[in-house]
Amino acid sequence: MARREWEARLRLGREVEEADLPPPPEAPKAKSRLEPVTGKQVEKWMKESDAYREAVAGKDRWKLKGVLLDKRIRVQGSRHFQEGLLGWSASKPEAVESVPLKWEHAFGGSTRVRGRDGAEILNAAWFANPVGCGWRHPKWISALGRAKEKVPKSLMAPQFSYPDDVLDGLD
């Protein structure tokens, strides 16, 4: 069934009680400042560590119980920010059945403007997600003007957000 918007939730849980696994090998320690750890000791410890990792591979370290992670996300169909008389506002989301969980659909982005001579006028990014959409540097429009480029009529808007965040325009 196609919808314009919905909320998704992910819950993960693990008990704080450890499963019955052997303890990992202890790293070698120097006897004193004058007697440091030898290469043979380190080599032996690395072999023991590799054997330990193989022995516990695929085994759960913790018994499942209690919630550790509980995340909610608002998912919307494709939409755009459009420039109008009162600034940039978001269009209504299109009805969709699914949205791929990709960074490109989440809030973020980058702003890069070059002049006609190739000189960089503005180069900035939302570092938490530089490939996302919905973010533009505050000086973006003035940089486009200096580069003598037109402001686009519309821009992609994010399809994922926190449920309580309302992103209905560009600031």
pLDDT, tens digit, for every residue of 88-108? Answer: 889 999 999 999 989 999 999
Q: Could you tell me which of 147, 99, 138 has the C-alpha nearest to residue 119?
A: 147
Specify the pLDDT at position 14: 59
Task: Name beta bridge partners: 15.
Answer: none
To the nearest whole number, what is the mean pLDDT of the chain? 84
| Higher-pLDDT residue of 24, 121 | 121
The band of 64, judged by pLDDT with boundaries at 50, 70 and 90, is very low
Q: Could you tell me which of 138, 122, 75, 82 has the C-alpha nearest to residue 101?
A: 75
Torsion from C-alpha of 22, 65, 160, 124, nearest 10 degrees: -40
| Percent over 90 (pLDDT), the chain | 39
Q: Could you tell me which of 45, 27, 28 has the C-alpha nearest to residue 37?
A: 28
Q: How many other C-beta atoms lie within 10 A of the C-beta of residue 57?
A: 7
Please, how many CA atoms are within 13 Å of residue 32, restricted to the half-sphere of its CB? 2
pLDDT at 6 over 80: yes
8 Å CB contact between 72 and 163: yes
8 Å CB contact between 159 and 144: no
